[in-house]
Amino acid sequence: MKHPHLQNRATQRTSEAAGRLRERILSLLLESKGPRTAYDLAKAAGATLAYGYAYVGKLEAEGFLEGTKVVRPAELIDYWQSIREKPRVIEFFVPNPVGLLVPTPKAPYASTTYLAESRLHHYLMPVRWDLYVREVDVEDWMTACKHLGGLRGPGNLRLLVGDPWIPENPFETRHGFAPSTGTDPLKWVGDPRLVLDLRTEGALCVEAAELIMKSRGWTRRTRMRKRS
């Protein structure tokens, strides 16, 4: 992951910051395909080492992990959904939303739900574009929407404003857009957050989330270890 949104100890004491750190660590744990230490997780999440070790230890005590290996992925996603921060939503109808992402905008973003799933896993139609953006960039995104003839209100595009770490640390894929100027890669959230957002969206998105979970091996259930 690139450019973690660092926070100091004082900031981490607030409930919002602590919640965001938890979500970052959860996404990193689920995305990891190899050994990863609590030190690595804390550093990538922008947390203090003490916080990283404490939170990983808590998850292990709850039976979700063995060390830093996720052994109960489906249940860990359920837990994540129960503590998920609901982003602030800004809705638009934009006649040609491709213009927002081509050429690649300077402001960071990460796509999710319909757009990301349709480009990466090919189950849903991209009926709406959901983009995580930073609070500091909201005015620029809104101006860009208006320049493309966008109108405010429920439509085909939503700007999701929450933890800036999400758009600052996107994945990139070749499954992007190919205008006459060349191919621009699509930037998207990782599969763990994509699954979370699809499940939150509901309806057919839940089916898409289940297919992703199956492909990633996140659906196997075994007996939970008893809590001490």
- Name beta bridge partners: 110: 132
Considering 5-14, 171-180, 194-203, the range whose residues carry the highest mean pLDDT is 194-203
Find where tokens 């404490």 sit: 54
Q: Are 124 and 203 in contact (CB under 8 A)?
A: no
Q: What is the mean pLDDT of the chain?
A: 88
pLDDT digits (tens, 9 = 90+) for 133-165: 999 999 999 999 999 999 999 999 999 999 999
According to CATH, what is the number of the domain 9-84?
1.10.10.10
From the CB of residue 39, how many other CB atoms can be counted at a distance below 10 Å? 13
Is residue 179 predicted with pLDDT exceeding 90? no
* Share in percent of the chain as helix, strand, coil (round to 5): 45, 15, 35
Q: Band the pLDDT of 90: cuts 50, 70, 90.
A: very high
Helix (H, G, I), strand (E, B) or coil at 86: coil
E strand map for 17-73: 65-66, 69-70
Q: Band the pLDDT of 219: cuts 50, 70, 90.
A: confident
| Domain boundaries, given as residue ranges, for the chain | 9-84, 88-189
Q: Band the pLDDT of 220: cuts 50, 70, 90.
A: low
Predicted local confidence at residue 159, as pLDDT? 98
State how far the Cα of 62 lies from the Cα of 57, in Å rounded to an integer: 9
Helix (H, G, I), strand (E, B) or coil at 161: strand
Helix (H, G, I), strand (E, B) or coil at 174: strand
Predicted local confidence at residue 221, as pLDDT? 59
Predicted local confidence at residue 185, as pLDDT? 86
pLDDT digits (tens, 9 = 90+) for 39-76: 999 999 999 999 999 999 999 999 999 999 999 999 99
Q: Which amino acid is it at 92?
A: F
Q: Band the pLDDT of 83: cuts 50, 70, 90.
A: very high
State how far the Cα of 158 lies from the Cα of 87, in Å rounded to an integer: 11
Is residue 194 predicted with pLDDT exceeding 80? yes
Relative orientation angle of helices 191-201 and 204-216, to the nearest 10 degrees:
150
Q: What is the pTM of this model?
A: 0.87
Long-range contacts of range 150-155, CB-CB < 8 Å, 24 or more positions apart? Answer: 150/92, 150/93, 150/94, 150/95, 151/92, 151/93, 152/91, 152/92, 153/91, 153/92, 153/93, 154/91, 154/93, 155/91, 155/92, 155/93, 155/94, 155/128
